[in-house]
Amino acid sequence: MYLTKLKTAIQVIKPIVNESMLLTLAVLRSLKSVKIPRITDGI
C-alpha cells in the first residue's frame, strides 16, 4: 500500500519538477542573453 502511494506521488511530482526545470532553464537562457554570461555558462 505504501509503495503504490509512493508511485502515484512520483507520477504526480515528476511533471511538476520537469516543468519547473524547463522554466528555470528558460529563465537562465533569458538572463544569459541579457547580461550575465559568466555565471550561466557553468550551468
Residue 42 forms part of a structural domain: no
Q: For residue 6, what are the domain limits? A: 2-37
Distance CA 27, CA 40 (A): 10
| Cβ count near 32 (within 10 Å) | 15
Residue 43 forms part of a structural domain: no
Angle at 27 between CA 24 and CA 29, to 5 degrees: 110
Residue 13 forms part of a structural domain: yes
**pLDDT tens digits, residue range 1-43?**
788 999 999 999 999 999 999 999 999 888 777 765 565 555 5
Residue 41's contacts (CB-CB under 8 Å, 6 or more residues apart) are: 32
Q: How many domains does the chain have?
A: 1
Q: With helix as H, strand as E and coil as C, how does 4-17 read?
A: HHHHHHHHHHHHHH
Which residue type, as a one-letter code, is found at position 25? L
Residue 22 forms part of a structural domain: yes
| pTM recorded for the entire structure | 0.50
